[in-house]
Amino acid sequence: MQTNEICWSCKGPLNEGFFCPTCGTLRRPFALSPFKFFALPFAFNLNLNTLEERYLDLQKQFHPDKFVTKTSQEQMNALSWGGFLNDSYNKLKKPVERACLLLAEQGIHDVLEEKPTPDMMMKQFELREQLEESEQLDDLLIEVQDDIANLESGLVESFDSSNFEKAKKQTLELQFLSKFTRDIKRKMRQLKTN
């Protein structure tokens, strides 16, 4: 979080913290990776309990109630940091978004906008066909959840070995399977109500 900025309030030098070391005011938001924000390693395999603990700690630091008696600038800073906190937490918590963040760190953007490979398209077509034709969806759901678990393990390996091209394809496939899981569950609910 090192910046060469000065404090908006006292004009003192800022360190890596969120608060000015000289006057204690909350600094203005600045560009920061969600991984750095939560002091987590740049890795796909995150400890979600640690993420949750840090989220709760940061939530306390930026809670608007702590800034009710502060200046309007500090109140705005707290709101901005709070918004960034929630957005970053939600992205890191979700495997597809976490993978996209890691790829973006490598200069690979808009991964989810890419077209699937022909093999992926064929698999998607076959899965959609199974969903349409079947009324016993438990086995399909288990199969897709197993595929998701395998993809997530594969993403750990791809990122650990810096195979970003493979990670990009796995992320695209993971996005489809995550959405497809919701489609299966939706149809299961519909079948139960009929």
115 against 54, higher pLDDT: 54
Cα distance between residue 73 and residue 45, in whole Å: 37
What burial class does residue 84 get, using C-beta atoms within 10 Å of its C-beta: 0-12 exposed, 13-18 middle, 19+ buried?
middle
- Could you identify the residue written with the tokens 């400890």? 47
- Predicted local distance difference test score (pLDDT) of residue 159: 97
pLDDT at position 55 is 98
In the predicted model, is pLDDT for residue 151 greater than 50?
A: yes
The answer on pLDDT for 144 being more than 50 is yes
pLDDT tens digit sequence for 7-45: 999 999 998 889 999 999 999 998 899 999 999 999 999
What pLDDT score was predicted for residue 3?
55
Q: Which of 36-50, 83-97, 121-135 has the lowest mean pLDDT?
A: 121-135
CA 5 to centroid of chain Cα atoms: 28
Given the structure tokens 């953007």, which residue do they identify?
A: 109
Fold observed for domain 112-193: Monooxygenase (1.20.1280)
Which tens digit of pLDDT belongs to each residue from 39-77? 999 999 999 999 999 999 999 999 999 999 999 999 999
What pLDDT score was predicted for residue 192?
83
Say if residues 61 and 47 touch (Cβ distance below 8 Å): no
Return the domain boundaries, the chain.
Answer: 1-93, 112-193
- The contacts of residue 86 (CB under 8 Å, 6+ apart) are none
Return the residue matching tokens 């608060």: 19
CATH of domain 1-93: 1.10.287.110
- CA-wise closest residue to 164 among 117, 109, 120: 109
Q: How buried is residue 75: exposed, middle or buried, by Cβ count under 10 Å (0-12/13-18/19+)?
A: middle
pLDDT band at residue 1, thresholds of 50, 70 and 90? very low
Say if residues 177 and 151 touch (Cβ distance below 8 Å).
Answer: yes
pTM: 0.87
Contact 104, 96 (CB under 8 A): no
pLDDT value at residue 2: 46
* Both structure tokens of 98: 């976490």
Averaged confidence pLDDT in the chain = 93
Burial 164-187 (b: 16+ CB within 10 A, else e): beebbbbbbbbbbbeebbeebeeb
